Amino acid sequence: MKKTVVIIGGGAAGMSTASRVKKLKPEWDVKVFEATEWVSHAPCGVPYVVEGISPKEKLMHYPPEFFVKKRGIDLHLNAEVIEVEQGRVRVREEDGERAYEWDYLVFANGASPQVPPIEGVDLKGVFTADLPPDAVAIKEYMEKNDVRNVVVIGTGYIALEMAEAFVVQGKNVTMIGRSERVLRKTFDKEITDIVEAKLREHLNLRLEEITLRIEGDERVEKVVTDAGEYKADLVIIATGIKPNTELARQLGVRIGETGAIWTNERMQTSIENVYAAGDVAETKHLITGRRVWVPLAPPGNKMGYVAGSNIAGVDVTFPGVLGTAITKFMDLEIGKTGLTEAEALKEGYDVKTAFIEAGTKPHYYPGGKKIWLKAVADKENGRLLGLQAVGAEILPRVDAFAVALQAGFKTEDLFFADLAYAPPFAPVWDPLIVLARVLKF
């Protein structure tokens, strides 16, 4: 029997869900409503469009017509869902409002920036960096105005990436954070000390300062904190995001303890035939088993795949996340997977940690660089709990450790892991193996 699936949001999770349903049930009517003109977009690429590395058009993995013509999805762009009720949604489109019926509903409408309640955020030249339209707006503003001084408010992943985008263009960049460390919520101090030293080489880092207001005559001119004033021709607000749960609340969907939509392992919500995937949905942590909200692209895509599979009658479960993530500032790579020491202690683990500095190649082979690694393990049974990495060539180490965590490795399992070796690629004692040795022995 033909069914109608309505998906709210045309980002990674939404289009993954739609594509999966159409593959398994090509005769079904699958409708996607996306509030912008961007579909299957890559918000993670926003800083790199601003930096000039990539044209904005490439932020869409596939163009809209691909989904319409090749996959048979009924895609509605510039279509904002404004009301949700059982079996029906109301949508504001360019030609007016319309109602659509559904047999299955999917919330894949992502998250939005958290803008602090400070005066001046509505001045021209003040931006968030959340979606592809933001990259377009920032680039256009820079082309039309003499932008020399940039202030980035925030010290998380997006703040670092946006700061880099302006540093490489020769701008005078100031980064303002209210906490005592950058990346405070996601990394321990050993790692953030190295990151902060790198940041100070390239920008004016101001920590433990509270932004009071943004000033200017229609256009931004300066940012005022409780400790000083900073010239600003452009301001980026990168102070976190929040899940877009308003529509789900209309329907009475259960909101989880994280503030995102509660889902089970099949991405089903608390209401029959209603699913959620991506940045709007919470899941569970693979180590602690606790409910977590980790708004990152890889799990978002997989959540969409799982939701689409189950809607179409194929039983697939989403196991959860480790919070594996990576970013960079200039040539310094920063990444993690699993729990930090602070997180593990908060969860009640009795931990053992190791922090090492190593080289990425043998000392006799050219091109080697420094890498710093911190591992966390359960002191009682040796089970690995997490890794943090900073320096060069960290991705293979972070990824290998993520697989080890998911497999339930203990420290000795990592020590005896049969990793590849050749001088152009790694030392005979890979930094991960050295880390495990220090942690174990």
Cα–Cα separations (whole angstroms), residue 337 to 56, 184, 186, 341: 30, 15, 10, 12
Sign of CA dihedral 86, 88, 89, 90: negative
Could you give the dihedral angle defined by the CA atoms of residues 149, 195, 153 and 132, in that order, rounded to the nearest 10 degrees? 90
| Helix 189-202, helix 157-167: angle, nearest 10 | 20
Give the contacts of 416 (CB within 8 A, at least 6 positions apart).
none
CB-side neighbour CA atoms (13 Å) of 397? 31
Give the contacts of 187 (CB within 8 A, at least 6 positions apart).
195, 334, 336, 340, 388
Give dist(CA 101, CA 6) in Å, integer. Answer: 8
Q: Kindly name the residue from 44, 123, 255, 326 that is annotated as catalytic.
A: 44
Tokens of 432: 């991960």
Annotated catalytic, 128?
A: no
Sign of CA dihedral 378, 379, 382, 384: positive
Please give the positions annotated as active site: 44
